[in-house]
Copies of this chain bind each other. A is one copy, B any other.
Amino acid sequence: MPTDKNIELTINEGHASAPPKAAKKILDVAYDLFYRRGIRAIGVDEIVRRAGVTKPSLYRSFPSKDELAASYLRQYDLEFWERFDEAVDAHPGDPRAQILAFLTRVGKRTQRPDYRGCGMTNAAVEYPEHGHPARVVSEANKQELRRRLRAMAAAMGAQEADTLGDGLLLLIEGAYISGQLFGLGGPAQSVARNADLLIEASLKK
């Protein structure tokens, strides 16, 4: 009598001998399709077809397509913070280097041929209605990102720490969007350089 399969699925995983559950295959396929082509653009039929399962299997693990989309974003959230913390951990006690390491990697990813930006950002654009399950996850992720960027700006000793933190967030969001708008050679490749200039200007007395 599972109360919430989606959550169970994220905390469970990897019993070594457990057969590949249908829910996992569904979420994996949904992740890929939702991210690459958009949530509204993908129907549940295509998801179950490519996952090699049937529709009732989807609706036994996920209460609705909207909730499946929210589960996709929760998974995205996990992997996002892995990437973020990887850059942070690489430069202990040096927030400026942490930011630049993160943005250097973002800038590189945006130059990949089929880069599709940030799944969180894209979902918020697709679902402007407040309270939509997917949007709720997206907003929470961005709030937390903003909080951390402002904290890092303060740790750098910026005079207007909140302004700098927000400025970095604007550059990041701009890189996500420009990456998928311009493709190779687009403005997103200079996100780290511009962040560095902005930080420099914000630290100057």
A residues with CB within 8 A of B: 36-38, 40-41, 116-117, 121-122, 124-126, 128-129, 138-139, 142-143, 146, 160, 162-167, 169-178, 180-182, 187-191, 193-194, 197-198, 200-202
Contacts and interface: CB of A to CB of B under 8 A. Distances in A.
A126 B40 CA distance: 8
Nearest to A197: B201
13 contacts: A37-B128, A37-B129, A40-B40, A40-B41, A124-B177, A124-B180, A125-B180, A166-B189, A166-B190, A170-B171, A170-B174, A170-B187, A173-B174
A143, A169, A175, A181: residue with the most chain B Cβ atoms closer than 10 Å: A181
Contacts of A160: 193
Nearest to A40: B40
A124 to B, nearest CB: 5
A178 B71 CA distance: 23
Given A121-B177, A194-B198, 19 more contacts: A116-B128, A121-B181, A122-B125, A124-B177, A124-B180, A126-B126, A143-B182, A162-B190, A163-B193, A166-B178, A167-B193, A167-B194, A169-B178, A170-B174, A170-B191, A171-B174, A173-B177, A176-B177, A201-B201
A129 B116 CA distance: 11
Contacts of A143: 182
A104 B169 CA distance: 18
Contacts of A197: 163, 167, 198, 201-202
A126 B128 contact: no
Nearest to A177: B173
Given A166-B187, A170-B191, A197-B201, A177 B177 contact: yes
B38 A181 contact: no
Contacts of A126: 38, 40-41, 125-126
Given A163-B190, A198-B194, A36 B173 contact: no
